[in-house]
Chain A
């Protein structure tokens, strides 16, 4: 059987990959994708802790993940809408070039 720490390590790895991507990629969309990956890593932790926890009947982890999925979907929609609107304005989705606040 798979011990709990392997899930936690996988989650940490996913989080690190997402973080690395979010910090280093030029394209704003991929930055957003990195953030999504980090959220998913957190979700994985919730599920793993629910499964290995002492009180799985409480369903706290599951319910939290359901809310997290719903909120993440909203976050992705708004984030992408923002990126599209920024792209319309600057004609680029490169985060390095979007550096001025003035319209």
Chain B
């Protein structure tokens, strides 16, 4: 394991755990931004430059900010001394641990164990663009449509209801 990977992985996991454990919601959102940035670093380390930058732009630049806004808009009359976890937290943790155990055993018993990089692999922007415009043109259009619908839908949902006249 290379040092870069270990550093990025530790950063990502620690901040992800912090997101789930911190009491202050704004701290959660900031830790989330760190997680996303760490993941972007891992993508870069895997030679996926375009995806890494897109991850930074979309997640750190947009989603984290969106979440921060949502947190500030929904703060208020909640009792602060309540536990951050819901009543059935034990079950949830149990499920999460079981899922991780299953995934980890599967990974460690699979062919992926100890698999090394098969030489250089690079995804240039031109190649990605060409693929998007030829092989994946339909998904691209559908994704564009989905984004437009989501944009309009989000605006309509979050819009304040008109006062009855």
| A residues less than 8 Å from B160 (CB atoms) | 88
Report the minimum CB–CB distance from A88 to chain B (whole Å). 8
Report the minimum CB–CB distance from B53 to chain A (whole Å). 11
Are A44's CB and B115's CB within 8 A? no
How far apart are the CA atoms of A30 and B107 in the complex, in Å? 28
Q: How many residues of B contact A (CB 8 A)?
A: 89
> B129-154, CB under 8 A of A: which get 1 and which 0?
00110001001100100110011011
Are B63's CB and A17's CB within 8 A? no
Residue of A nearest to B51 (CB): A65
Are B143's CB and A71's CB within 8 A? yes
Tell me what chain B mostly uses at the interface: helix, strand, loop, or mixed: helix
Q: How many residues of A contact B (CB 8 A)?
A: 74
| B residues less than 8 Å from A72 (CB atoms) | 58, 63
| B residues less than 8 Å from A59 (CB atoms) | 123, 127-128, 131
Are B85's CB and A1's CB within 8 A? no
Are B112's CB and A34's CB within 8 A? no
The 10 closest A-B pairs by CB, nearest first: A23-B92, A20-B96, A16-B100, A56-B121, A74-B150, A21-B20, A12-B103, A24-B92, A81-B154, A81-B158
**4 extra A-B contacts, CB within 8 A, seeds A23-B91, A24-B89:** A17-B96, A29-B25, A73-B62, A80-B70
